[in-house]
Amino acid sequence: MITNPMDFVDTQTRGTQIDIKYTTLRPTTLISTPTAVFTIILQIYWVMSLNKITTCLWFDGQAEEAANYYVSVFANAPSASPDTTTAITSTTHYTSGGATTHRHAPGSIMTVSFTLQSHPFVALNGGPEFKFNEAVSFHVHCEDQTEIDYFWDKLSRDGDEKKRVCGWVADKWGVSWQVVPRKYLGWVEKGAKEGAEEKDKEGVARAMEKMMGMKKLNEGEIREAFEGK
């Protein structure tokens, strides 16, 4: 019988160390309620085992810093749900094996695995060869303007101001995010799909025209444009 929650982690992940300090559950709950600890560990293991696809982000020595920042941002988001997992899940280190190829010091951090609202990522310290660009970006579906403001502020911090356009923003490491109202995506789906009603097509055209002139998106103004107000 397992009485220590971390014994369960070792059993299920063959020694992988899981950091639960940034979960979407309250830290006080995790400390005072063993059942809650087991619950979040089970969530992490369940999420990581079900996903066949994990997003890998290539960094030049900043993997741990970036992963910790992303986890803190999404764990504290206005709409963070206790039904999703946001946490650092494991860290690996380079060994002497293959050193002539990977050219990293043995013992230095190789990867940091983490989840953002149950989506699995791995941050890799690969080196200076590759840089991020806008060809790949991540949609952040926001429930209201408060959440748009929150993610825009957090993800744009110390990023390239020239890359802030139409809801797109690059963070300090160059990773691109699209901070968009969930309702806007619904409007586009309604008015841009095949067979859409003419009034919805016109609404989407107005909404897109309004959006194209923005940096951070204003849900209220886009909605008014869609509705023709």
Q: Which tokens is 155 given?
A: 């993800």
C-alpha to C-alpha distance for 82 and 77, rounded to whole angstroms: 12
> What structural domains and CATH numbers belong to the chain?
5-129 (no CATH), 131-229 (3.10.180.10)
Give the CA diameter of the chain: 65
Pairing type for strands 55-59 and 119-125 reads: parallel
In order along its 229 residues, the chain shows pLDDT tens digits of 333 333 333 333 333 333 333 333 333 333 344 444 334 334 444 444 567 899 999 999 999 999 999 999 999 999 888 878 899 999 999 999 988 888 999 999 999 999 999 999 999 999 999 999 999 999 999 999 999 999 999 999 999 999 999 999 999 999 999 999 999 888 888 888 888 889 889 999 999 999 999 999 999 999 999 999 8
Pairing type for strands 176-181 and 137-142 reads: parallel
pTM equals: 0.77
C-alpha to C-alpha distance for 212 and 184, rounded to whole angstroms: 13
Q: At what angle do helices 145-156 and 219-227 cross, to 10 degrees?
A: 130
Predicted confidence at residue 15, as pLDDT, reads 35
Predicted confidence at residue 50, as pLDDT, reads 60
∠13-14-16 over CA atoms, to 5°? 60
Buried b / exposed e along 57-94 (16+ C-beta atoms within 10 A): bbbeeebbebbbbbbebbbebeebeeebbbbbbbbeeb
Kindly state the helix (H) or strand (E) to which residue 146 belongs, with its residue range.
helix 145-156
